[in-house]
Structure 1
Amino acid sequence: IVNPTDSDAVGSAVQSLNNADIPVIAVDRSSNSGEVASFVASDNVAGGKQAADALAQAIGEEGEILVLQGIAGSSASRDRGQGFEEGIAAYPNIEVVAKQTANFDRTEGLNVTTNLLQANPNIKAIFAENDEMALGAIEALGARAGEEVKVFGFDGTADGLTAVEDGKLEGTIAQQPDELGARAVEQAAAILEGGEAEEEVPVEVVTVTNENVAEFK
C-alpha cells in the first residue's frame, strides 16, 4: 500500500514492485508510471463540484474568482480542478479570471495570490485545491478574507477547520482518511485471499462550512 506525495517520484518504486509481481494499492494519489492493482481515493471530482456550488452560493452566483492549482500532473490537482471547472460552468455570471499553480504550498499560495490580486483587484472569491494554499491566500488577503473575498479550500485539515471556525475560510472539502485506509486494507485482503481488487475505489468527501465545522473538529 503506497500513499504517494508525488505521482511521478513514486513511479520507479511501483515499477520495481510490478517486476517482483507484488500488487500495489495506491491511496489518495496514484502513480504516473507502473501499474497499480487498485486506486483508493477521495472522490476529488465530486469534491471539486461541491466546492464550486458552495462558493457560488457564498458570492450570490456572480463575480470574478481566482483558482490556485496544486502540483501539475498530480491526480489530486487534476481531478479537483476538473470537478471545480465542471461545477462552476453552471454559473454563467461567475468568471474565472486567473488560474495559477501554487504547488499545494502555503507560502506559494501567499505569493501567488499577492501577485494575482494586483492584476485582479475586484475578485469576490478564491478556490484553492488544498487548504494549505487557501491559508496562504487568506494571509495575502488580510482583513478582506471572509468579508470582501470568500476563500474555499480542500482537505479538511486541522488548520483549515480552525480557519472555517474563525470565519476566514468560507469552507473546505473534508476527506475521510480513516475510510481511505480501511478501504485500502480491504483491497489488499481481497488480493491475499486470491480474489481481485477493484480498479478504482472512490471515497465520499464532505463539504464543511461554519454550519457543520463543529462535527469535524
Structure 2
Amino acid sequence: MKKLTTLISAALLSSTMSVSAHAQDTLAIVVSTLNNPFFVTMKDGAESKAKELGYNLIVLDSQNDPSKELSNVEDLTVRGVKAILINPTDSDAVSNAIRMANRANIPVLTLDRGASRGDVVSHIASDNVAGGEMAGKFIMERVGEKAKVIQLEGIAGTSAARERGEGFMKAVKSGNMDLLASQPADFDRTKGLNVMENLLAANSDVQAVFAQNDEMALGALRAIQASGKDITIVGFDGTDDGIAAVNRGLLSATIAQQPDMIGSLGVETADKVLKGQTVEKNIPVPLKVITK
C-alpha cells in the first residue's frame, strides 16, 4: 500500500511539473484579425519560429474589436503565458490591454501597429512612414508631378494608417500632387470597392490611387475596372494576392512588407527578453517596392 501511495504521489508530482514546464514554454500572439491574409502570414511566421525555439504558441483573434482584444489579454493573464505579442486593433484602445498585462508582469511586444500607452518592451514593424513616401514617389515617377491622386485610408486610430498617410502626404507635397480625396476604407477589400465607387463618381479626373493596404487596393481595382478608366493603383503590404495582381499588370505596385518576418522576429525577441537579454525598443523590418 505504501509503495502504491508513493507511486501515485510521484505520478502527481510528475504531472504537476509537466504542466508547470509547459506553462513556462507558452507564448501568445493576439492578432487584430485573421480575416486578412497579411495577419495570417504574420501568425504563420510566429508559429514557425515558436516551433523552432521550442515554445508553445497560443493564437487569439480579436476580430478587429478592442473589447474582444481586452478579453483575449485578460484570458492570457489567467492562463499564465510568459510573453504576449500583440498586433493592436487600435493604437489607443490597446493601451488598456497592455496595462493589464503590465500589472500581471507579462512582457508585451507590439507587431506592425504600435501602442499609444502602456509598457511595451519592443515594437517590431516596417517603417510605415517611409513606405507611404515610397508609394507617393512611385506615383509621381509613373504619372508625373501635379498628378491627381486619391488615398484610401486604413482603420482610423491605428499607427499603420496614420504613419502610411503621413509618408504619402510628404510625397504629395514634394511632388506638387493634387490630392482629390482621402477617405477611410478600414483596410477592407469590400469597403475599398464601395468607397472607390463613390470617389470615382465625384472625381472623374483621378489619375492614381494609393491604398494603405493591398486589400483596399484590390477592392479599388474592381471599382476602377468597372468604370473602364486607366488609373495607376499602388497598394501596401506585399500580400500574395497583391503581388499576384502586380504580376498580372492589374496593380501598378505594392509596397512590400514581410509579415512572416515580423511574426518571426516577434517570437525571437520575446525569447531574448525571457532570457534576460537586452533588446531594441524598435526593430525595423525592411520594405521594398514590387512592380511587374
Tell me the TM-score normalised to structure 1 length: 0.89
Q: 2:241 is matched by which residue type in structure 1?
A: D
1:1-217 equivalences under 5 Å are 1-7=84-90, 8-92=92-176, 94-142=177-225, 148-210=230-292
1:173 and 1:3 mapped to 2: Cα distance? 23
1:101 and 1:169 mapped to 2: Cα distance? 20
Measure how far apart 1:9 and its partner are: 5.0
- Identify the range of structure 1 (32-41 vs 148-157) with the bigger mean alpha-carbon deviation: 32-41
Q: Judging changes above 3 Å, is the alpha-carbon distance between structure 1 residues 18 and 9 closer, same or farther for their aligned structure 2 residues?
A: same
* 1:77-98 deviations in Å (ceiling 9; x for gaps): 0111111111222112x21111
Measure how far apart 1:167 and its partner are: 1.0
Does the 8 A contact of 1:160 with 1:172 survive in 2?
A: yes
The CA RMSD over aligned residues, in Å, is: 1.8
Q: Report the number of matched residues.
A: 208
Measure how far apart 1:198 and its partner are: 1.5
User: Can you give the 5+ residue segments of structure 1 that lack an aligned partner in the other structure?
Assistant: 211-217
Does the 8 A contact of 1:49 with 1:83 survive in 2?
A: yes
* 1:81-136 deviations in Å (ceiling 9; x for gaps): 111111222112x2111100000011111111111111110010000000011111
Query: SS at 1:2's partner residue?
Result: strand
Does the 8 A contact of 2:86 with 2:108 survive in 1?
A: no
Which structure is richer in relative contact order (CA contacts within 8 A, separation 6 or more)?
A: 1
Which consecutive segments of 4 or more residues in structure 1 shift more than 4 A? none
2:96 and 2:193 mapped to 1: Cα distance? 33
1:31 and 1:24 mapped to 2: Cα distance? 11
Measure how far apart 1:156 and its partner are: 0.7
Greater C-alpha Rg: 2
1:190 and 1:4 mapped to 2: Cα distance? 19
Q: Which has the higher helix share?
A: 2
User: Can you give the 5+ residue segments of structure 2 that lack an aligned partner in the other structure?
Assistant: 1-83
Q: 1:108 is matched by which residue type in structure 2?
A: K
- Identify the range of structure 1 (48-57 vs 192-201) with the bigger mean alpha-carbon deviation: 192-201
Q: 1:66 is matched by which residue type in structure 2?
A: I
- What is the aligned-residue identity percentage? 46
Measure how far apart 1:12 and its partner are: 3.2
1:35 and 1:112 mapped to 2: Cα distance? 37
Tell me the TM-score normalised to structure 2 length: 0.67
Does the 8 A contact of 1:4 with 1:10 survive in 2?
A: no
